[in-house]
Amino acid sequence: MLGEKHDLVHEFPELEGKIEAMREANAEFAGLMNQYDDLDARVRKLEELGTPVADETIEELKKERLLLKDKLYQLLQA
């Protein structure tokens, strides 16, 4: 769905407290969160504005976002 929220708290609401705590205490996690948030904002902007972009480009951005989300989730589970 276009413009759908994919921020980490929206994706894992049950982990909201842990996400906030790790973002403050873990520099690696905070850096990955910043990358994820930036990438998510970029994807949403492209989708919402209908900016002409190749399908492959948007799909690659979404794959990159998914890989970052997987890394962040692994850190949350450790």
Query: According to the model, what pLDDT value does residue 72 have?
Result: 96
Per DSSP, helices labelled H in the chain are 8-11, 16-25, 27-49, 55-77
1-29: pLDDT as tens digits: 455 667 888 889 999 999 999 999 999 99
SS3 70: helix
Tell me 26's DSSP state: -
Residue type, 56: E
pLDDT value at 39 more than 70: yes
Tell me 50's DSSP state: T
SS3 54: coil
